[in-house]
Amino acid sequence: NAGVMQNPRHLVRRRGQEARLRCSPMKGHSHVYWYRQLPEEGLKFMVYLQKENIIDESGMPKERFSAEFPKEGPSILRIQQVVRGDSAAYFCASSPARNTGELFFGEGSRLTVL
């Protein structure tokens, strides 16, 4: 049973470009979470999605960031017009249901903005 799969593992972008990060949850999991980890910082919640619905995006910057989890295919975190401050590790996690507490994390996508 494959775990949470994220790709790409590493992504380099120049300022102003777009970054797209993909996450396939564990089989049977319909709840997806995105967290960002800055150097020397803890994981910070960004957004929580279920299939085709954004449930909580309170941790997502209002501009340039968007997320989706379509009926078919992986969840996508999209960052438009990237800036150096977007450089971070972006982790996706999934769970089989709400309020289970335990999240299963992917290995993260490390974004570097030049």
Partner 1 sequence: EDKVVQSPLSLVVHEGDTVTLNCSYEVTNFRSLLWYKQEKKAPTFLFMLTSSGIEKKSGRLSSILDKKELFSILNITATQTGDSAVYLCAVEWGGSEKLVFGKGTKLTVNP
List interacting residues with partner 1 (CB under 8 A): 3-4, 31, 33, 35, 40-45, 48, 55-56, 58-59, 91, 98-99, 101-108
| Phi, then psi, of 4 in degrees rounded to 5 | -70, 125
Is beta strand 10-13 parallel, antiparallel or unpaired with respect to 109-113?
Answer: parallel
| 94 membership: H or E segment, kind and range | strand 88-95
Strand, coil or helix: 10: strand
Nearer to partner 1, 27 or 44 (CB): 44
Shorter beta-carbon distance to partner 1: residue 77 or 82: 77
Minimum Å gap between C-beta 68 and partner 1 is 17
Identify which of residues 1 and 58 has a Cβ nearer to partner 1 in the complex: 58
Tokens of 82: 């990237």
